[in-house]
Amino acid sequence: MKLPDLPPEPPRALRLRLDRDALAENWRVLDRLSGGARAGAAVKADAYGLGTAEAVPVLQAAGARDFFVAHWCEAAAVLAHVPAGQVSVLHGPLTAQDAAYAKATGVKPVINSLRQARLWIDAGGGPCDLMVDTGMNRLGLPMDQLGDPLIGALEIDVLLSHLASADEDSALNEVQLARFTSVCTQVPSRRRSLANSAGISLGGRYAFDLTRPGLALYGGIPCPALNGQIRQVGYPQAAILQTRTIQPGDTVGYNAIFTAEREMRVGVASLGYADGFLRCWGNEGFLLHKGVRLPLLGKISMDMVVVDLEAAPDVHEGDWADVPYDLPQAAAITGLSQYELLTVIGRRFARI
Protein backbone atom coordinates (compact mmCIF):
# COMPACT_ATOMS: atom_id res chain seq x y z
CA MET A 1 0.00 0.00 0.00
CA LYS A 2 1.44 3.35 -1.04
CA LEU A 3 1.46 5.91 1.73
CA PRO A 4 0.16 9.40 1.00
CA ASP A 5 2.69 12.17 0.73
CA LEU A 6 3.62 13.18 4.25
CA PRO A 7 4.64 16.62 5.50
CA PRO A 8 8.22 17.09 6.73
CA GLU A 9 8.96 15.30 9.98
CA PRO A 10 8.69 17.62 13.01
CA PRO A 11 11.89 18.30 14.96
CA ARG A 12 12.83 15.39 17.18
CA ALA A 13 12.85 15.52 20.97
CA LEU A 14 16.25 13.80 21.01
CA ARG A 15 19.37 15.05 19.30
CA LEU A 16 23.00 14.02 19.16
CA ARG A 17 25.46 16.73 18.33
CA LEU A 18 28.54 15.49 16.53
CA ASP A 19 31.59 17.65 17.08
CA ARG A 20 33.16 17.20 13.66
CA ASP A 21 36.26 19.20 14.56
CA ALA A 22 36.90 16.91 17.53
CA LEU A 23 36.41 13.79 15.41
CA ALA A 24 38.83 15.04 12.76
CA GLU A 25 41.37 16.08 15.36
CA ASN A 26 41.13 12.71 17.13
CA TRP A 27 42.00 10.99 13.84
CA ARG A 28 44.91 13.35 13.26
CA VAL A 29 46.22 12.72 16.81
CA LEU A 30 46.00 8.95 16.34
CA ASP A 31 47.59 9.19 12.90
CA ARG A 32 50.45 11.19 14.36
CA LEU A 33 50.87 8.72 17.24
CA SER A 34 51.02 5.94 14.65
CA GLY A 35 54.44 7.21 13.60
CA GLY A 36 55.44 5.93 10.19
CA ALA A 37 52.17 4.01 9.85
CA ARG A 38 48.93 5.52 8.59
CA ALA A 39 45.78 5.47 10.70
CA GLY A 40 42.65 3.93 9.24
CA ALA A 41 39.24 4.04 10.88
CA ALA A 42 36.93 1.40 12.31
CA VAL A 43 33.45 2.61 11.39
CA LYS A 44 31.49 -0.55 12.19
CA ALA A 45 28.27 -0.39 14.24
CA ASP A 46 27.20 2.86 12.56
CA ALA A 47 30.52 4.54 13.39
CA TYR A 48 30.27 3.28 16.97
CA GLY A 49 26.78 4.71 17.27
CA LEU A 50 27.53 8.26 16.18
CA GLY A 51 26.36 7.84 12.59
CA THR A 52 28.17 6.53 9.51
CA ALA A 53 26.76 9.22 7.23
CA GLU A 54 28.04 11.92 9.55
CA ALA A 55 31.37 10.42 10.63
CA VAL A 56 32.82 8.89 7.48
CA PRO A 57 33.03 12.11 5.41
CA VAL A 58 34.75 13.85 8.33
CA LEU A 59 37.28 11.04 8.72
CA GLN A 60 37.95 10.94 4.99
CA ALA A 61 38.48 14.71 4.87
CA ALA A 62 40.88 14.42 7.81
CA GLY A 63 42.97 11.91 5.86
CA ALA A 64 41.64 8.39 6.56
CA ARG A 65 41.81 6.06 3.56
CA ASP A 66 41.07 2.64 5.10
CA PHE A 67 37.65 1.95 6.63
CA PHE A 68 36.61 -1.21 8.47
CA VAL A 69 33.09 -2.51 9.08
CA ALA A 70 32.01 -5.83 10.58
CA HIS A 71 28.96 -6.87 8.54
CA TRP A 72 28.25 -6.84 4.82
CA CYS A 73 25.09 -4.86 5.49
CA GLU A 74 27.26 -2.00 6.80
CA ALA A 75 29.30 -1.60 3.62
CA ALA A 76 26.80 0.33 1.49
CA ALA A 77 26.56 3.22 3.96
CA VAL A 78 30.35 3.66 3.81
CA LEU A 79 30.48 3.24 0.03
CA ALA A 80 28.21 6.25 -0.27
CA HIS A 81 31.21 8.35 0.78
CA VAL A 82 34.46 6.54 -0.10
CA PRO A 83 35.82 4.37 -2.95
CA ALA A 84 35.13 0.64 -2.69
CA GLY A 85 38.78 -0.36 -2.40
CA GLN A 86 39.03 1.56 0.86
CA VAL A 87 36.36 -0.53 2.62
CA SER A 88 37.04 -3.88 4.34
CA VAL A 89 34.46 -6.23 5.88
CA LEU A 90 35.96 -7.85 8.96
CA HIS A 91 33.65 -10.84 9.23
CA GLY A 92 34.58 -12.01 5.75
CA PRO A 93 32.45 -14.12 3.41
CA LEU A 94 30.19 -16.59 5.17
CA THR A 95 28.42 -17.58 1.93
CA ALA A 96 29.03 -17.51 -1.81
CA GLN A 97 26.57 -14.61 -1.95
CA ASP A 98 28.84 -12.59 0.34
CA ALA A 99 31.80 -13.23 -1.93
CA ALA A 100 29.74 -12.29 -4.99
CA TYR A 101 28.69 -9.07 -3.29
CA ALA A 102 32.32 -8.21 -2.60
CA LYS A 103 33.23 -8.85 -6.25
CA ALA A 104 30.33 -6.73 -7.49
CA THR A 105 31.03 -3.79 -5.20
CA GLY A 106 34.82 -3.87 -4.97
CA VAL A 107 34.71 -4.06 -1.17
CA LYS A 108 37.54 -6.13 0.31
CA PRO A 109 36.64 -9.22 2.32
CA VAL A 110 38.78 -9.97 5.34
CA ILE A 111 39.59 -13.67 5.07
CA ASN A 112 39.48 -15.43 8.45
CA SER A 113 39.63 -19.13 7.59
CA LEU A 114 40.53 -21.62 4.89
CA ARG A 115 36.84 -21.96 4.08
CA GLN A 116 36.56 -18.22 3.52
CA ALA A 117 39.70 -18.32 1.38
CA ARG A 118 38.09 -21.01 -0.77
CA LEU A 119 34.86 -18.99 -1.11
CA TRP A 120 36.82 -15.97 -2.25
CA ILE A 121 38.99 -17.86 -4.72
CA ASP A 122 35.95 -19.64 -6.16
CA ALA A 123 34.29 -16.23 -6.65
CA GLY A 124 37.24 -15.10 -8.77
CA GLY A 125 39.51 -13.74 -6.05
CA GLY A 126 41.16 -10.35 -6.16
CA PRO A 127 42.44 -7.99 -3.46
CA CYS A 128 41.48 -9.06 0.05
CA ASP A 129 42.72 -8.73 3.60
CA LEU A 130 43.77 -11.63 5.83
CA MET A 131 43.18 -11.82 9.59
CA VAL A 132 45.50 -14.14 11.49
CA ASP A 133 44.77 -15.12 15.08
CA THR A 134 47.80 -14.45 17.31
CA GLY A 135 46.12 -14.93 20.69
CA MET A 136 42.62 -13.44 20.67
CA ASN A 137 40.97 -16.78 19.79
CA ARG A 138 38.20 -14.97 18.03
CA LEU A 139 37.98 -14.67 14.22
CA GLY A 140 41.21 -15.25 12.37
CA LEU A 141 43.24 -17.91 10.59
CA PRO A 142 45.13 -20.20 13.01
CA MET A 143 48.87 -19.75 12.64
CA ASP A 144 49.42 -23.43 11.88
CA GLN A 145 47.41 -23.00 8.65
CA LEU A 146 49.54 -20.20 7.20
CA GLY A 147 51.31 -22.56 4.82
CA ASP A 148 48.13 -23.87 3.20
CA PRO A 149 48.09 -23.42 -0.60
CA LEU A 150 44.77 -21.56 -0.36
CA ILE A 151 46.50 -18.79 1.61
CA GLY A 152 49.32 -18.70 -0.91
CA ALA A 153 46.76 -18.14 -3.67
CA LEU A 154 45.31 -14.99 -2.05
CA GLU A 155 46.08 -11.48 -3.24
CA ILE A 156 46.53 -9.94 0.21
CA ASP A 157 46.39 -6.20 0.64
CA VAL A 158 46.39 -5.89 4.46
CA LEU A 159 47.65 -8.65 6.73
CA LEU A 160 45.95 -8.17 10.09
CA SER A 161 45.81 -9.44 13.62
CA HIS A 162 44.04 -8.05 16.69
CA LEU A 163 45.44 -7.32 20.14
CA ALA A 164 43.47 -8.82 23.02
CA SER A 165 44.85 -6.74 25.90
CA ALA A 166 46.29 -3.55 24.45
CA ASP A 167 44.40 -1.47 27.02
CA GLU A 168 46.39 -2.94 29.92
CA ASP A 169 49.96 -3.80 30.84
CA SER A 170 49.82 -7.42 29.78
CA ALA A 171 52.53 -9.85 28.77
CA LEU A 172 50.16 -11.02 26.03
CA ASN A 173 50.91 -7.83 24.08
CA GLU A 174 54.54 -8.81 23.54
CA VAL A 175 53.55 -12.39 22.80
CA GLN A 176 51.15 -11.26 20.10
CA LEU A 177 53.67 -8.80 18.69
CA ALA A 178 56.27 -11.56 18.35
CA ARG A 179 53.74 -13.90 16.75
CA PHE A 180 52.55 -11.28 14.28
CA THR A 181 56.11 -10.35 13.38
CA SER A 182 56.67 -14.02 12.57
CA VAL A 183 53.47 -14.13 10.51
CA CYS A 184 54.68 -11.16 8.47
CA THR A 185 57.78 -13.09 7.43
CA GLN A 186 55.65 -16.02 6.24
CA VAL A 187 52.78 -14.34 4.40
CA PRO A 188 53.38 -11.82 1.59
CA SER A 189 51.15 -8.74 1.73
CA ARG A 190 51.17 -5.12 0.65
CA ARG A 191 50.60 -3.80 4.18
CA ARG A 192 50.48 -5.03 7.77
CA SER A 193 48.22 -3.96 10.64
CA LEU A 194 48.08 -4.93 14.33
CA ALA A 195 47.27 -1.92 16.53
CA ASN A 196 43.82 -0.74 17.55
CA SER A 197 43.24 2.50 19.52
CA ALA A 198 45.01 1.28 22.64
CA GLY A 199 47.62 -0.54 20.58
CA ILE A 200 48.71 2.76 19.04
CA SER A 201 49.84 3.91 22.48
CA LEU A 202 52.12 0.86 22.83
CA GLY A 203 54.63 2.45 20.48
CA GLY A 204 56.08 2.18 17.01
CA ARG A 205 56.89 -1.53 17.16
CA TYR A 206 53.15 -2.23 17.13
CA ALA A 207 52.27 0.23 14.33
CA PHE A 208 53.60 -1.62 11.24
CA ASP A 209 52.02 0.01 8.13
CA LEU A 210 48.42 0.67 9.16
CA THR A 211 46.68 1.20 12.50
CA ARG A 212 42.97 0.65 13.04
CA PRO A 213 41.64 3.05 15.70
CA GLY A 214 37.99 2.82 16.65
CA LEU A 215 36.97 3.83 20.17
CA ALA A 216 39.43 6.71 20.48
CA LEU A 217 38.19 8.30 17.27
CA TYR A 218 34.81 8.81 18.90
CA GLY A 219 36.01 10.19 22.23
CA GLY A 220 36.83 7.00 24.10
CA ILE A 221 40.00 6.76 26.15
CA PRO A 222 41.00 3.08 26.36
CA CYS A 223 44.29 3.64 28.20
CA PRO A 224 45.91 6.35 30.35
CA ALA A 225 48.46 7.18 27.64
CA LEU A 226 45.70 8.86 25.62
CA ASN A 227 44.45 11.07 28.47
CA GLY A 228 44.42 14.71 27.45
CA GLN A 229 44.86 13.91 23.77
CA ILE A 230 41.39 12.65 22.80
CA ARG A 231 38.36 14.96 22.69
CA GLN A 232 34.70 14.16 23.29
CA VAL A 233 32.80 13.83 20.02
CA GLY A 234 29.18 12.92 20.81
CA TYR A 235 26.88 15.17 22.85
CA PRO A 236 23.36 13.72 23.38
CA GLN A 237 20.49 15.99 24.41
CA ALA A 238 16.88 15.33 25.39
CA ALA A 239 13.94 17.73 25.41
CA ILE A 240 11.94 18.39 28.56
CA LEU A 241 8.42 17.22 27.74
CA GLN A 242 6.66 18.36 30.88
CA THR A 243 7.27 19.97 34.26
CA ARG A 244 5.16 19.36 37.34
CA THR A 245 5.13 19.86 41.07
CA ILE A 246 4.82 16.81 43.30
CA GLN A 247 3.96 16.75 47.00
CA PRO A 248 5.50 14.99 50.01
CA GLY A 249 4.62 11.31 49.81
CA ASP A 250 4.18 11.29 46.03
CA THR A 251 6.09 8.57 44.21
CA VAL A 252 7.80 8.68 40.84
CA GLY A 253 7.94 6.06 38.11
CA TYR A 254 7.60 2.31 37.91
CA ASN A 255 7.48 0.39 41.20
CA ALA A 256 7.40 3.71 43.09
CA ILE A 257 11.03 3.40 44.16
CA PHE A 258 11.35 7.16 44.73
CA THR A 259 9.16 8.94 47.29
CA ALA A 260 9.24 12.73 47.65
CA GLU A 261 10.01 13.99 51.17
CA ARG A 262 9.12 17.58 50.30
CA GLU A 263 7.36 19.53 47.62
CA MET A 264 9.43 19.20 44.47
CA ARG A 265 9.44 20.58 40.95
CA VAL A 266 10.36 17.82 38.51
CA GLY A 267 10.75 17.46 34.76
CA VAL A 268 10.02 14.62 32.36
CA ALA A 269 12.75 14.27 29.73
CA SER A 270 12.28 12.53 26.37
CA LEU A 271 14.90 9.85 26.98
CA GLY A 272 14.77 6.21 28.02
CA TYR A 273 16.30 2.79 27.76
CA ALA A 274 14.99 2.42 24.19
CA ASP A 275 17.39 5.26 23.36
CA GLY A 276 20.36 3.57 25.03
CA PHE A 277 19.93 5.42 28.33
CA LEU A 278 19.85 2.22 30.34
CA ARG A 279 18.65 1.75 33.90
CA CYS A 280 22.21 1.43 35.14
CA TRP A 281 22.32 5.25 34.99
CA GLY A 282 19.75 5.38 37.77
CA ASN A 283 21.76 5.16 40.99
CA GLU A 284 24.10 8.09 40.43
CA GLY A 285 22.83 9.45 37.16
CA PHE A 286 21.83 12.97 36.24
CA LEU A 287 21.15 15.20 33.28
CA LEU A 288 22.52 18.72 32.93
CA HIS A 289 21.07 22.11 32.07
CA LYS A 290 23.58 24.90 31.55
CA GLY A 291 26.03 22.87 33.61
CA VAL A 292 23.61 22.39 36.52
CA ARG A 293 22.96 18.81 37.62
CA LEU A 294 19.41 17.47 37.40
CA PRO A 295 19.41 14.22 39.43
CA LEU A 296 17.40 11.28 38.11
CA LEU A 297 14.33 10.28 40.11
CA GLY A 298 12.89 6.76 40.07
CA LYS A 299 13.34 4.14 37.40
CA ILE A 300 14.22 5.03 33.83
CA SER A 301 11.33 4.16 31.51
CA MET A 302 11.48 3.05 27.89
CA ASP A 303 10.98 6.57 26.52
CA MET A 304 11.15 8.92 29.52
CA VAL A 305 13.10 9.78 32.62
CA VAL A 306 12.16 12.11 35.48
CA VAL A 307 14.65 14.62 36.88
CA ASP A 308 14.74 16.92 39.89
CA LEU A 309 14.52 20.59 38.81
CA GLU A 310 15.18 22.15 42.21
CA ALA A 311 18.58 23.47 41.15
CA ALA A 312 17.31 24.72 37.79
CA PRO A 313 14.15 26.81 38.27
CA ASP A 314 14.59 28.29 34.78
CA VAL A 315 13.96 24.95 33.02
CA HIS A 316 10.65 24.82 31.15
CA GLU A 317 8.88 22.51 28.72
CA GLY A 318 10.69 22.43 25.39
CA ASP A 319 14.09 23.21 26.89
CA TRP A 320 17.02 20.86 26.31
CA ALA A 321 18.87 18.80 28.88
CA ASP A 322 22.36 17.47 28.23
CA VAL A 323 23.26 13.82 28.80
CA PRO A 324 26.71 13.67 30.45
CA TYR A 325 28.59 11.67 27.83
CA ASP A 326 32.23 12.16 28.67
CA LEU A 327 32.90 8.47 28.08
CA PRO A 328 35.34 7.61 30.91
CA GLN A 329 33.15 9.45 33.43
CA ALA A 330 29.94 7.91 32.08
CA ALA A 331 31.54 4.47 32.29
CA ALA A 332 32.37 5.09 35.95
CA ILE A 333 28.75 6.10 36.69
CA THR A 334 27.05 3.26 34.82
CA GLY A 335 29.47 0.35 34.97
CA LEU A 336 29.17 0.07 31.18
CA SER A 337 32.25 0.01 28.98
CA GLN A 338 32.95 3.03 26.82
CA TYR A 339 32.26 0.84 23.79
CA GLU A 340 28.82 -0.05 25.12
CA LEU A 341 27.96 3.56 25.91
CA LEU A 342 28.58 4.54 22.30
CA THR A 343 27.00 1.63 20.52
CA VAL A 344 23.74 1.62 22.53
CA ILE A 345 22.85 5.16 21.44
CA GLY A 346 19.43 4.85 19.79
CA ARG A 347 18.29 5.78 16.30
CA ARG A 348 15.68 8.24 17.57
CA PHE A 349 18.39 10.83 18.11
CA ALA A 350 18.61 13.36 15.30
CA ARG A 351 22.27 13.56 14.32
CA ILE A 352 23.19 17.24 14.05
Query: pLDDT at position 284, please?
Result: 86
- What percent of the chain is predicted at pLDDT more than 70? 100
Which CATH number applies to 234-351?
Answer: 2.40.37.10
- Tell me what pLDDT residue 47 has: 98
**pLDDT at position 179 over 80:** yes
Provide CB contacts within 8 A for 87, sequence distance 6+: 67, 68, 69, 75, 78, 79, 107, 108
pTM: 0.95
pLDDT, position 248: 98
Q: Which CATH number is 20-219 given? A: 3.20.20.10
pLDDT of residue 133: 98
Cα distance from N-terminal residue to C-terminal residue, the chain = 32
User: Mean pLDDT, to the nearest integer, of 225-230?
Assistant: 96
Going by pLDDT thresholds of 50, 70 and 90, the confidence category of residue 348 is very high
4-37 per-position pLDDT tens digit: 789 999 999 999 999 999 999 999 999 999 999 9
Which residues are annotated as catalytic?
44, 254
pLDDT at 309: 98
For residues 229 and 2, the model is more confident at 229
Question: Measuring CA to CA, how many Å separate 262 from each of 310, 336, 337?
Answer: 11, 33, 36
pLDDT over threshold 80, residue 283 = no
Residue 2 reports pLDDT greater than 90: no
- Are 300 and 323 in contact by the 8 Å Cβ rule? The answer is no
pLDDT tens by residue, 207-216? 999 999 999 9
Give the tens place of pLDDT for each residue, 120-174. Answer: 999 999 999 999 999 999 999 999 999 999 999 999 999 999 999 999 999 999 9
What is d(CA 218, CA 49) in angstroms, rounded to the nearest whole number?
9
Question: Domain spans of the chain?
Answer: 20-219, 234-351
Which pLDDT score, from 0 to 100, does residue 102 have? 98
Helix (H) or strand (E) holding 109: strand 108-111
**Whether residue 3 has pLDDT greater than 80:** no
